[in-house]
Structure 1
Amino acid sequence: MAIYEDLYSEPTPVQHQHITGGRLKQIHTQKGAAPMAVPLAKKQKIDPNTSWSFFHPGRVDARFAPDDFRKRVKALDDKLEVAWHPVHERWCVWVKNPHVTHWMCPGWQLLFPVKHSDGTYCPLDERVLAEIINRSPRKHGHKIRVRSLVLVSGGTTNVTFQSGAGGTALTGAIPLVANTGFSSGIDDEGHFETASATLLNVNVSGAGVSVFGWLTYYEVPASA
Structure 2
Amino acid sequence: MAVETQHLKVALIPGTGRMGSALARNLALANISVFVGSRNLQKGLKTAHNLLEIYPNARIQGGTNHEAAAWADTIFWSPSGSLKEREALLQSLAPHFENKVIIDVSNVMYFFDESQWGQTSSVLLNQKALGVPAKWTTAFKSTFYKLLEVPPNPKDPHCTFVAGDDEEAVHRTAALVEAIPGFKAVRAGGLVNSKIIELLGPRWLFELDELNAGGKYRSGWKYVW
- TM-score normalised to structure 1 length: 0.26
The structure with higher relative contact order (CA 8 Å, sep 6+) is 1
- TM-score normalised to structure 2 length: 0.26
Point out the structure with the larger strand share.
Answer: 1
Instruction: Indicate the structure (1 or 2) with the bigger Cα radius of gyration.
Output: 1
